[in-house]
Amino acid sequence: MFGSSKKRKISRIDTLVGQHTVIQGDVRFSGGLHIDGTIKGNVTAENDGVSMLSVSDNGTIEGEVNVPHIILNGVVIGDVHASKHVELSSKARINGNVHYNLIEMAIGAEVNGKLVHAMEPMDTPLSLGNDEPVE
């Protein structure tokens, strides 16, 4: 019960960027993407809400990241947008703002920018129950 280890859902990796690989340009993907190399461009997941990005301690992204689920142990130079969950491991380094819904930060993770909590967008706007315009 208490103290039991939580089981982490492992997502499959559909695409791997190897350690000695440098990609210059934007990357759009769906599913799972694991980066051991360098991407010089923006990394964006298709709008499916389940895509996952993992960046190893050898991985670097120089650009904006927009992915629902992120596990970061490398370097990102740019803003990070995680609509669902972002996990910053002990060697994670971000030079930019982090926009998140849920965040986990290990001791040693570094963010040189703002942490901005952003709730998931709701399907319908909130109503005060009064349809009359406010003056």
- Given the DSSP bridges, would you call strands 22-24 and 38-40 parallel, antiparallel or unpaired? parallel
What is the pLDDT at residue 131?
A: 55
Indicate whether 1 pLDDT > 60: no
Amino acid in the structure at residue 127:
S
Determine contact, residues 53/45, Cβ cutoff 8 Å. Answer: yes
The model's pLDDT over 36-87, given as tens digits with 9 standing for 90+, comes to 999 999 999 987 789 999 999 999 999 999 999 999 999 999 999 999 999 9
> Which two structure tokens, joined as six digits, stand for 95?
């030079």
